[in-house]
Amino acid sequence: MISFKSRLAVITGAGSGIGRALALALAKEGASLALADINPETLAAVAEEAKAAGAPQIYQQTFDVVDESAWGAFAERVKTEIGMADLVFNNAGIARMGRFEHTSSEAFASVMDVNFWGVVYGTRAFLSQVKLRQGSFVNISSVFGLIGVPGNSHYCASKFGVRGFSESIRQEFAQFGVHVASVHPGGINTNIAKSAEFDEGAESREQMLKRVHEKGLVMPPAKAADIILAGVRKRKPRILVGNDAKLLSFIQRLIPASYPKVLGYILKREDDGAGAGYNPGDVIARLQKPSLRSRFTSWLIRRKFKNKYAAAAENGDVDVAEVRAGQGKMIIVRKMPKVSTEDVSIAREGLPDLKGQWQWPTAGNNDHTILYLHGGGYVFCDVSTHTNMTRRWAELAQARLFSVDYRLAPEHPYPAAVDDALAAYDWLLQQGISPEKIVVAGDSAGGGLSSALMLRLKSLGRPMPSGLLLLSPFTDLIGTGASLDANNDACAFFTGNMIRGFGHLYGGELALDTPEISPLYGDLSGFPKTRIYVGNTEVLEDDSLRFFAKAREAGVDAELHVWEDQPHVWPVLYPMMPEADLALHEMAEFSRACTRGDPVPTLEETV
């Protein structure tokens, strides 16, 4: 890690915002400063502040960064007056709002001149100094240099350009020991939005500024400067500033080919069709790295389950009896004295009794009901394998949970599981429980089955439950999701071919794109409020992402929670890892809110 003491830092756009904050932070650490800005009054004020903060030497010059000759003169004066530069912060920038069709080429070029060419000129002017000093170029891009948004084509183009330029010269300059960072701030409370230009067709200046400041500009410049300098110390190639920047970077990396669709759900258009605002209730990325217990659990699952059965699945041979025996050995049922259970057997004419289990907190008010359908590829698992999770959910939610032992394939292929799920739902209604007080939930195959139950209810004209919660749902039994292959090695539980094999065992000779077999291919309109959880390294990740996207297109009030590097259906692994209990707290808030008609809390409100 480098120290800034006795270093010389060049900062453009130093008269306000992030530039001013960088100048003051570096001054406090004993760095000398060469400051530039287009406004002489604000520049002089910052120079005085920096001197008082402890900068040993300060040189200031007023010029426009679009003037390449002025850059050359500035670089020479800096070297003559206070020495050669160690760090160059290309920070000067302008903002402009408006759709591309309403923006003239001249206006587009003005944004590119300041935001992009200003960086290029600054880098060229100081290159010989920074090479000799083996220093750093720190080029301020934006969160919109990571991901494009409507109504900002000129701004995004300039900031994408800064990022691409930085990544290219980073490789060119590496042989000289020069560090190049692209910085991507999110919503920083600076004057850049206040001074933004507005093209014809953009929303009113007052309306835009009010919305931007209320929803976007939340981080103080001083905090942004601290994050930037911490990244420079560690010589990071890309520095993300703020949770919004981290979220959008995560989405772009997670689904690079289809992120614009998901982004469309995050960035809602205003009523007048101009601009875009964040709606964090649609897609929530849980970016924290997995805990040590989570990583150990994933390693254990891979060793005890995936590695043992993957080879057979690759050959198209799934030994169902062996898999059932193996998964049973992995579960240790925890004692939970505060939760009561009662086994249920529902008699049916001409069919085997339907087995299930009631679970409820003995001291709870139990004001709503959760119908739970376990996972297991439609061929293994039962109530007992999921009981740690389901009892904990019932306890946290203060709910009665009915967990169903539906019939399994290959002995009972489709439609046996859907018939059993419908029978369980109807039985709850017969007990006097209203649909408004029921949330249907399931994981993996149980998530697909829960979705299939919604399709069956809709086709029969039956009332829907108040909510639907899906954990890593298995929604495409054809197996067309890219993640089945892309995450084949990363997924702790399954390979893509294991999943495809389970699909064929359940579907039998029927077409696997039948909606009740693969709900991804069904009409999802009319579904209840839906929440989906999935890990970004699961082979079934795309089943969740595509199902969420289709639900949103169908008008469903749906949200997607993507967690970083968690094993398949990690809440089932309670109490082995803290992430399981955290997710269960969120699930409890969801089921309570659905059945009470309350707004569903966001992740931040839950935590």
- Find out whether 224 and 21 touch, Cβ atoms under 8 Å: yes
Phi, psi of 478 (to 5 degrees): -70, -35
In this structure, are 241 and 349 located in the same domain? no
366 and 251 co-located in one domain: no
Task: Name the β-bridge partners of 238.
Answer: 182
pLDDT at 278: 33
Q: Please report whether residue 584 resides in a domain.
A: yes
pTM, two decimal places: 0.59
The residue with tokens 């995936």 is 306
- What pLDDT is stored for residue 175 in this prediction? 85
User: For 34, phi and psi rounded to 5 degrees?
Assistant: -115, 110
Q: Is residue 548 situated within a structural domain?
A: yes
Q: Is residue 408 part of a domain?
A: yes
Of 398, 402, 400, nearest in space to 363 by CA = 398
Residue where a domain terminates, one of 246, 279, 312: 279
Separation of alpha carbons 507 and 509, rounded Å: 6
Residues in the chain: 607
The pLDDT confidence band at residue 457, using thresholds 50, 70 and 90, is very high
* Structural domain count, the chain: 2
One domain for residues 103 and 242: yes
Question: Is position 295 within any domain?
Answer: no
Which pLDDT value is given to residue 255? 67
User: pLDDT tens digits for 45-98?
Assistant: 999 999 999 999 999 999 999 999 999 999 999 999 999 999 999 999 988 778
* Identity of the residue numbered 121: Y
Same domain, 486 and 340: yes
Say whether 259 is catalytic.
no
Residue after which a domain boundary falls, among 242, 264, 279: 279
In this structure, the answer to whether residues 244 and 364 fall within a common structural domain is: no
Same structural domain, 146 and 17: yes
Contact 122, 238 (CB under 8 A): no
Asked if 503 contacts 477 with a C-beta cutoff of 8 angstroms, the reply is yes
Region 531-555 average pLDDT: 94
Query: Could you tell me if residue 568 is inside a domain?
Result: yes
Which carries the bigger pLDDT value, residue 252 or residue 553? 553
Find the CATH number of the domain harbouring 106.
3.40.50.720
The range of the structural domain enclosing residue 330 comes to 302-606
Flag whether 1 is in a domain.
no
How far apart are the C-alpha atoms of 534 and 541, rounded to whole Å?
6
Do 311 and 262 lie in one domain? The reply is no
Q: How far is CA 478 from CA 389, 413, 515, 585, in A?
A: 29, 15, 11, 33
Residues 337 and 244 occupy one common structural domain: no
Same domain, 246 and 355: no
Are residue 437 and residue 323 in the same domain, yes or no? yes
* Mean of pLDDT values over 372-388: 94
**Alpha-helical runs (H) found in 57-103:** 68-81
Q: What is the pLDDT of residues 395-449, one digit of tens each?
A: 999 999 999 999 999 999 999 999 999 999 999 999 999 999 999 999 999 999 9
269, 414: one domain? no
**Domain-embedded: residue 289:** no
Q: Are 254 and 343 within one domain?
A: no
Flag whether 468 is in a domain.
yes
* Catalytic residue selected from 121, 155, 372, 521: 155
What totals of helices (H) and strands (E) does the chain contain, helices first? Answer: 21, 20
